[in-house]
């Protein structure tokens, strides 16, 4: 397996191996099976970023559940703009439901804050935040994720669905941008 890769104009080195990711994803699924025991949650996977994580996670969920994919747009290049225009793809009613958000990464927290604002307008019973990665040092908004895969430094990452200008989502490891 390659430990160093080039995507477009940038070089990256492996940061979290696929096996570690898979192990952690199974642990998070076990936590959710426990915390939501007896409930029928609605998983909301946030596209594009969380399709691989959502797929791996949901294969290990034993609860009866609904799954929906929604899309937000907030990021261009290597810095977060924090701009959300809209949420598309929601066909289910959220009223009275236990929502579990599946997100790839929380950086400044702006995306999640905006998303929570939209979701609370739909009167769910509860909202649980699951994120694979959490850039704790970069957090600006007051967001506390309930389940975190890995706390990561404030560095640019690609792979396992994280992209650099649209590229790299299909890599099975997570890579970090090399320091100059």
Active-site annotation, residues? 107
Closest CB to ligand IMP among residues 40, 78: 78
| Residues between 11 and 40 with contacts to ligand IMP, criterion CB under 6 A | none
Asked whether 132 and 145 are in contact (CB, 8 A), the reply is no
**63, 106, 119, 129: which one contacts ligand IMP (CB under 6 A)?**
106
CB of 77 to ligand IMP, least distance (A): 10
**7, 45, 111, 159: which one contacts ligand IMP (CB under 6 A)?**
111
Give the DSSP letter string of 104-167: EEESSSHHHHHHHHHHHTT--SEEEEEEEEE-GGG--S----SEEEEE--SS-EEBTTB-BTTB
CB of 61 to Mg ion, least distance (A): 20
**55, 82, 146, 150: which one contacts ligand IMP (CB under 6 A)?**
82
Burial state string for 163-178 with b = 16 or more CB within 10 A and e = fewer than 16: bbeeebbebebbbbbe
| Residues between 126 and 165 with contacts to Mg ion, criterion CB under 5 A | none
Tokens for 114?
A: 């905006």
Q: Which residues bind ligand IMP (CB under 6 A)?
A: 49, 74-75, 80, 82, 104-112, 156-157, 162-163
């Amino acid at each position: 397996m390659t430990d160093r890769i080039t995507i477009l104009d940038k070089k990256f080195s492996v940061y979290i191996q696929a096996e570690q990711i898979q192990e952690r994803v199974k642990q998070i699924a076990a936590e959710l099976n426990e915390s939501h025991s007896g409930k029928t949650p609605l998983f909301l996977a946030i596209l594009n970023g969380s399709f691989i994580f959502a797929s791996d996670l949901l294969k290990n969920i034993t609860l009866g559940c609904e799954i929906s994919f929604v899309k937000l747009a907030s990021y261009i290049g290597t810095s977060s703009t924090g701009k959300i225009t809209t949420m598309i793809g929601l066909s289910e009613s959220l009223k009275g439901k236990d929502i579990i958000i599946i997100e790839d990464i929380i950086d400044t927290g702006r995306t999640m804050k905006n998303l929570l604002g939209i979701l609370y307008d739909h009167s769910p019973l509860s909202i649980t935040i699951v994120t694979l990665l959490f850039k704790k040092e970069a957090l600006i908004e007051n967001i506390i994720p309930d389940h975190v895969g890995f706390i990561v430094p404030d560095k640019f990452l690609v792979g396992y669905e994280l992209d650099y200008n649209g590229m790299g989502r299909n890599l099975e490891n997570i890579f970090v941008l090399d320091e100059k």
